[in-house]
């Protein structure tokens, strides 16, 4: 999609949303823009504001997840309207304003408890034990497609690592169905937890699914630094104290909960990055960056899952 078409498509999407919400044309200001999504703040003639969020596949079902979450009592921004055009989703959302402070672990633990206690919702993708077990094989399939496209040719080390993980994935995925099992935010970071004057709201449900809640807890501290099982164990303890399922501390796949969670979260990330590389982004110019992050995460996976 070239820049001109993108500008026109977004303008058309916004017009659809304004028509559905019966709002006039606003002033627009970028908050964050990425190749696959973006967020703008809209200011209307009467001084009120709203947020315009847009995204392409595979992020084009967030409106459904937000409606489900809100109906089930999860604190999320109000969705005023949503519309789709040419594979792009547009949403008109409540503007929560500037956070009063950044979320920390003492905010994240009870927020995760609220989400994970929520009744399971039909319609969300499911990642159960078989789904975890299949992740390394799915990553190998992505690698095969990349090589057929004459990319990632010097990636024998990645193939070997994925083969080892696949061989151990059966026993190591055991315990995936232990509580908490249900809603998984999947982008559960401090930046996705808005702390405002009127309480907190969870943002960014574009990749929500049903699965092991420990993947959320493992994602909280991000993936830029080396995984820290000791730090995650403290967070798991805080989660249980806040009312989370006691089984969050139970061993899984023969490993401590924190090690299991970090290992499988990194494996989940590896498969996602490889799928992005061949399917959603599909730009050879990005290969060096993707290769670097996949190799780093695979090293972590092999160490954490002890394969």
Residue-by-residue pLDDT tens, the chain, 307 positions: 444 457 899 999 999 999 999 999 999 999 999 888 999 999 999 999 999 999 998 999 999 999 999 999 999 999 999 999 999 999 999 999 999 999 999 999 999 999 999 998 888 999 999 999 999 999 999 999 999 999 999 999 999 999 999 999 999 999 999 999 999 999 999 999 999 998 999 999 999 999 999 999 999 999 999 999 999 999 999 999 999 999 999 999 999 999 999 999 999 999 999 999 999 999 999 999 999 999 999 999 999 999 9
Q: Is 78:91 a contact under the CB 8 Å cutoff? A: no
Give strand pairing partners of 217. Answer: none
Q: Is 62:55 a contact under the CB 8 Å cutoff? A: yes
Q: What is the pLDDT of residue 3?
A: 44
Residue carrying the six token digits 């947020």: 51
Question: What is d(CA 75, CA 67) in angstroms, rounded to the nearest whole number?
Answer: 11
Q: Is 208:185 a contact under the CB 8 Å cutoff? A: yes
Measured in residues, the chain has a length of: 307
Reading the block at residue 153, the tokens are 């040719």
- Ranges of CATH 3.30.200.20 domains, the chain: 3-93
Domain 105-304, CATH number (from 1.10.10.410, 1.20.1260.10, 3.90.1200.10, 3.30.930.10): 3.90.1200.10
Reading the block at residue 197, the tokens are 């004057």
Q: Which helix (H) or strand (E) holds 234?
A: helix 229-241
First to last CA, the chain: 42
Neighbouring CB atoms inside 10 A of 257's CB total: 23
CATH 3.30.70.2610 fits 3-93, yes or no: no
- Ranges of CATH 3.90.1200.10 domains, the chain: 105-304
DSSP code of residue 249: G
Q: What is the pLDDT of residue 193?
A: 98
**DSSP E strand stretches across 197-266:** 199-202, 209-212
Quick one: CA torsion of 197, 201, 203, 207, rounded to 10 degrees? 170
Question: What is d(CA 65, CA 57) in angstroms, rounded to the nearest whole number?
Answer: 14
Q: What is the pTM of this model?
A: 0.94
């Amino acid at each position: 999609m070239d820049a001109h078409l993108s500008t026109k498509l977004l303008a058309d999407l916004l017009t659809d949303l304004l028509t559905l919400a019966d709002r006039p044309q606003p002033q627009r200001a970028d908050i964050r823009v990425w190749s696959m999504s973006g967020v703008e703040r809209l200011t209307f003639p009467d001084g009120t504001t709203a947020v315009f969020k847009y995204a392409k596949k595979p992020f084009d079902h967030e409106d459904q997840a937000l409606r489900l979450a809100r109906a089930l009592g999860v604190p999320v921004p109000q969705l005023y309207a949503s519309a789709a055009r040419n594979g792009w989703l547009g949403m008109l959302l409540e503007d929560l304003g500037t956070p009063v402070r950044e979320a920390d672990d003492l905010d994240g633990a009870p927020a995760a408890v609220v989400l994970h206690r929520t009744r399971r919702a039909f319609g969300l993708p499911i990642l159960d034990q078989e789904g975890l077990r299949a992740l390394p094989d799915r990553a190998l399939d992505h690698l095969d497609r990349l090589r057929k496209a004459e990319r990632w040719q010097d990636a024998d080390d990645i193939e070997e690592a994925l083969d080892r993980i696949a061989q151990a994935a059966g026993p190591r995925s055991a315990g995936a169905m232990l509580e908490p099992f249900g809603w998984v935010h999947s982008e559960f970071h401090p930046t996705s937890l808005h702390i405002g004057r009127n309480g907190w709201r969870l943002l960014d449900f574009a990749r929500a699914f049903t699965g092991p809640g420990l993947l959320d807890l493992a994602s909280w501290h991000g993936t830029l630094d080396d995984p820290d099982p000791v730090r995650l164990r403290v967070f798991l303890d805080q989660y249980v104290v806040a009312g989370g399922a006691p089984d969050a501390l139970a061993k899984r796949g023969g490993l401590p909960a924190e090690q299991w969670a970090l290992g499988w979260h990194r494996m989940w990330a590896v498969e996602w990055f490889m799928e992005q590389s061949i399917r959603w982004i599909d730009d050879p110019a990005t290969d060096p960056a993707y290769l670097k992050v996949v190799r780093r995460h695979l090293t972590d996976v092999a160490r954490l899952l002890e394969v």
